[in-house]
Amino acid sequence: MRVTDGLEERLAERDGRILTRSLDPGSKVYGERLHSRNGAEWREWSLQRSKPAAFMARGGELPLRRDDRLLYLGAASGTTASHFSDLLDRGTVYCVEVSPRSFRDLVTVCGRRRNMLPVMGDAGRPQDLAFAVEGASVVYQDVAQKGQASMLAENMRAFGAERGMLALKSRSEDVTAAPAKILERAVAKLESEGLSVVDVRMLEPYEKDHAMVVVRA
């Protein structure tokens, strides 16, 4: 696992497990295991339930800094967002979710963490998110619908983000095409939007027909 310079105090690996230093000691978000390390509490980041963790297990490096303002599109109930919260202890995680049921669970998680803000809205309509998100340095997107690459590019432009991560769901784009072909199209679309693609990794065996694409503006 590669660790971005500056995250060494918040992100670690032990016996093949990826850990984040808890910003809410004594509390679990999704039943994850807790570990004691160097006098602090660390949360085990599930490779099967969180795509950024799978990405790191596949050799990827998160393009994050501790003071980032992260716009998370498709935050669901807050599982992955809570680990981003651990990492960005000097920053903010804007958690966007459109499903009312998931949003209720997300609000509960955000209520325990000082740097997580829940935003109910449609990730495909960044203009509707501006009331809560003034700007972002990085966008992370995990949304199951068509046009995922275009959505990431649009949100990065709207909020001035310099970095982005796309958790590409191949079957949400096209159930008939091969995942490799869908990934190729997504990369081409991101580049046509003026973004530089700096890393591309399939997430098997942790996530089937999923990939992670890291870009810079």
DSSP letter string over 58-126? TT------TT-EEEEES-TTSHHHHHHHHH-TTSEEEEEE--HHHHHHHHHHHHT-TTEEEEES-TT-G
| Mean of pLDDT values over 44-58 | 96
Residue 19 is predicted with a pLDDT of: 97
pLDDT, one tens digit per residue, over 27-36 is 999 999 999 9
Find the mean pLDDT for residues 132-157.
97
Q: From 90, 208, 72, select the one nearest 140 (Cα to Cα).
A: 72
Could you tell me the domains of the chain?
A: 47-216 (3.40.50.150)
Give yes or no for a contact between 120 and 98, defined as CB atoms under 8 angstroms apart: yes
The predicted pLDDT at position 203 comes to 97
Q: Whole-angstrom Cα distance, residue 213 to residue 51?
A: 11
Residue 129: pLDDT above 90? yes
Q: What is the dihedral of CA 136, 133, 18, 51, to 10 degrees?
A: -90
What is the predicted pLDDT for the residue at 4?
79
pLDDT tier for residue 2 given thresholds of 50, 70 and 90: confident
pLDDT digit string (tens) for 164-209? 999 999 989 988 899 999 999 999 999 999 999 999 999 999 999 9
Residue 37 has what pLDDT? Answer: 82
Average pLDDT in the chain: 95
Region of residue 78 (phi > 0: left; psi between -120 and 50: alpha; otherwise: beta): left
Q: Largest Cα–Cα distance in the chain?
A: 51
Place of tokens 């509390």: 27
Tokens 């959505």, located at residue: 151
* Angle made by CA atoms 189, 50, 105, in degrees to the nearest 5: 105
Given a cut of 80, is residue 57 above it in pLDDT?
A: yes
**pLDDT score recorded for residue 92:** 98
Residue 6's pLDDT is what? 84
Q: What percent of the chain has pLDDT over 70?
A: 100
* pLDDT tens-digit series, residues 79-118: 999 999 999 999 999 999 999 999 999 999 999 999 999 9
pLDDT at 5 over 80: no
